[in-house]
Amino acid sequence: MTTEHDGMRAWAMTLAHRAVKDIKRDGFRQLRSYVDMGALLARSPGQKLFFSTAQRLLEKADSAYCPLVQQLLEEVGENQLCTLAVNLGLEALAAGVVELRRQNAPVWLECVRLDGPSQAAEYHQAVLRARKTGTRLFCADCAGAAAAQALLRHVSFDCRESLFFLRIFPDALTPELVRALRAAENAVPLLTVPEGAGPDSCARAAQWLRSEKLFYGMFYRLPDGAKLDTEAVRGLAQWTRLCILWAGGERAGEKALQKAVSAQRKAPDAPVFLMDWQSDSRALEKYISAGASVHWSDSGETLRR
């Protein structure tokens, strides 16, 4: 990173810490103020769309997004929350996008399946190569705690400006992995709901991560025919503030999920932010860089199944 960028990152981190303290103290009014400031400073079409959407969602003082933000501030450590915000906002969606477009790079999200610790070093090299082209978002589908810990050892220090999502099953969480996540601050575990189970299967792991003040999410393949109704959303909100959903390979299921997630984001029934893996990743590609897509470093198909 250049000296100029280092200064910008330091300024962004200072602003993030100030925003956390202000919103904790003064709630909705301060949240609106920071969103309005973001809209004023937004440059790219994607940034303008994000902040204009946020302004619209926060038009009313009783917006369901206010309790969502307040609960995040209470449940997640300030340092990690600010690191994730700066890595996503400044690094991935601002500076990273500029570099992706300048180089006409083909990848905005670099994914891999890690079956064991030995693959972590190879993926680390793929991460370093991708960073040179502007990629700042990475996702590792980890077969167990050992694979996740090995990756964190490689990327915790020399990839501090990047954001890593680690898909793990809830029973893979160990004290050693929790300590590694606490030290990294730039990694988000995604608790993967086992096939045939429901979100409650992640309850113990979710409570553990929450007690450690760590930000985490959930990755959930909706069972065939399942509906994302109010009861289902409130069930998700018991265990996570972020849930990435996917509907498998059927086009009809994808469309139904896309419609349900869109409706929930406009008027959420509970304090949880929902994402639809298929449609949201395609939408992001349009705003990040024409031609850029999700890339797999191996032949894994787990996230795309």
pLDDT digits (tens, 9 = 90+) for 180-210: 999 999 999 999 999 889 999 999 999 999 9
Whether the model pTM is above 0.85 = yes
DSSP state of 88: I
Amino acid sitting at position 297: S
pLDDT at 84: 94
pLDDT band at 300 (very low <50, low <70, confident <90, very high): very low
Does position 304 have pLDDT exceeding 50, yes or no?
no
Specify the residue for token string 């990152």: 9
Pairing of strands 293-296, 273-276: unpaired
Q: How far is CA 93 from the centre of its chain?
A: 12
Give the start-to-end residue ranges of the domains of the chain.
3-304
Q: What is the pLDDT of residues 34-55, one digit of tens each?
A: 788 877 777 767 677 777 877 8
Q: Cβ contacts of residue 112 below 8 Å, gap of 6+?
A: 119, 123, 126, 139, 140, 141, 296, 297, 298, 300
Specify the residue for token string 């409570």: 207
Helix, strand, or coil (residue 263): helix
CATH of region 3-304: 3.20.20
pLDDT band at 1 (very low <50, low <70, confident <90, very high): low
Average pLDDT over residues 267-295: 82
| Cβ atoms of 17 and 78 closer than 8 Å | yes
